[in-house]
Amino acid sequence: MIELADMKLFVQAVLSGSLSAAGRELGFSPAVGSKRMSRLEAALGTRLLQRSSRHLSLTEEGALYFERCQAILLDVANAEAELGQGQTEPRGLLRVSSPVALGRHYIGPALAKFAGQYPGLQVQLSLSDQLIDLVASGFDCAIRIGANTDSRLLARTLADNRRIVCAAPAYLARHGKPNVPADLLQHNCILMQPSSAMHADWHFHSSTSGEEQTIRVRGNWLTDNGEQAHDWACAGLGLVRRSCWDMAAALKSGQLLEVLPEWTDISAPIQVMYPSRHYLPLRTRLFIDLLVAEFASAGNQNT
C-alpha cells in the first residue's frame, strides 16, 4: 500500500531537486529516504525519478504522478485545515525567512512577541540576504523587499520602503557631502552584493523633477551582508545605500546622516510572501496579521 509520507517525500524531492534534502525536510535519513522512494516506485511498477549523485529529474510517468500527488496532498491539507477551523490557538512549527537586518530589528522581535502569546508554538527564523526558494525550502512565509516575481507566492505589503544613501559624520567631514548623484563618482561607496565586482549601478529618481539617473559607483569595501555594510558605514569607511527601515536607528541616533535626500531609488515595498494555497495555517495567518500591525506601529515611530 502506498503511504502518504512516501508521496510527500516524492513531491518534496521534485520541489527541492534533491532526494536527500527532501528526506531531511521530512525527518528521514538519506538511506531511509532512498528506501522509501524505491518502495514507492516498486508499488507503482514504474520509475518516477532519474537519479544520479548530482542530478534528479522526472520521468514521463513521474511528471504525471507528480501532478496527481500535488492535488491529493492539497486535498488532504485542505481537509485538515477544515477540521482545524475551530482551533483558537496556533500550533506546530512556524518557519520564517527574512533578510538579516530586517530579521534582527523587526521580524525577530515580532516572533518573540508572537511566541509569547502562544507558548505551545515552535519557531524557526532563517536570516539570509540571499534569495531562497520559499516553496522548495518549506517555509511558511518570507519577508522580502521588492515586487513579487514568483507566481507560486502571494504577497501582503507590510510597509512602503525606499533605499537611501548614508554616511557617518566623520566621513563627510573628511570627504565632503555629495550634492548630486554624479558626485558619488568621487567617493568611496560601500558595495553590498553577492558578486566580486568592485562596482555597482545605483539608480536614482528625483522627487522634485522626476529625472532618473544611473551612476556606476565604485569602492574598496564589498560584502554580501547588509549588517556588515551598515557597520562599515558607521565606522566612517564610505557611503552606503540601504533600506530606510534598516537605517532608521542609525539615522535617529546620529551615527549616520542621509545624503542626496531628494534622490531616491525606485520604491521597493517590504512584503511578506507565502505559498499560494487554498488555505493558510492558523499560525501563518495570525503571524502575518501581527507583522502588519507591528510595521504600522514602527512606521509611526520612525516618522
Q: What amino acid is encoded at 91 in this protein? A: R
The answer to which of 67-81, 132-146, 159-173 has the lowest mean pLDDT is 67-81
In which residue are the cell numbers 530589528 written?
A: 105
When pLDDT is cut at 50, 70 and 90, the band that residue 278 belongs to is low
Residue predicted with more confidence, 165 or 162:
165
Start-to-end C-alpha separation, the chain: 61
pLDDT at 197: 87
CB-count exposure of residue 33 (10 Å: 0-12, 13-18, 19+): buried
Q: Has residue 134 got a pLDDT over 70?
A: yes
pLDDT at 280: 77
pLDDT at 264: 84
The answer to which of 154-158, 208-212, 231-235 has the lowest mean pLDDT is 208-212
Residues 5, 36 contacting (CB under 8 angstroms): yes
pLDDT at 302: 58
When pLDDT is cut at 50, 70 and 90, the band that residue 91 belongs to is confident
Q: Has residue 82 got a pLDDT over 60?
A: no
When pLDDT is cut at 50, 70 and 90, the band that residue 42 belongs to is very high
Residues 227, 101 contacting (CB under 8 angstroms): yes
Q: Has residue 78 got a pLDDT over 70?
A: no
Residue predicted with more confidence, 75 or 131:
131
Which residue, among 69, 100, 111, 135, has the nearest Cα to 284 in the 3D structure? 111
pLDDT at 53: 66
CA distances from 42 to 99, 186, 282 (A): 43, 67, 37
**Each residue's pLDDT tens digit, 262-276:** 998 877 899 999 987
Q: Has residue 85 got a pLDDT over 60?
A: no
User: CA-CA distance, 34 to 41, in Å (whole number)?
Assistant: 11
* Average pLDDT score over the chain: 88
pLDDT at 115: 93
- Run of H or E residues at 229: helix 226-234
In which residue are the cell numbers 565604485 written?
A: 218
Percentage of the chain lying above the pLDDT 70 cut: 94
Q: Has residue 170 got a pLDDT over 70?
A: yes
Average pLDDT over residues 96-112: 93
Q: Has residue 139 got a pLDDT over 80?
A: yes
Residue predicted with more confidence, 39 or 25:
39
User: CA-CA distance, 213 to 199, in Å (whole number)?
Assistant: 16
pLDDT at 202: 93
Show the domains of the chain with their CATH numbers: 4-83 (1.10.10.10), 92-161+273-302 (3.40.190.10), 164-264 (3.40.190.290)
The answer to which of 26-30, 164-168, 218-222, 282-286 has the lowest mean pLDDT is 26-30
Q: Has residue 148 got a pLDDT over 90?
A: no
Across 12-26, 139-153, 160-174, which has the greatest mean pLDDT?
160-174
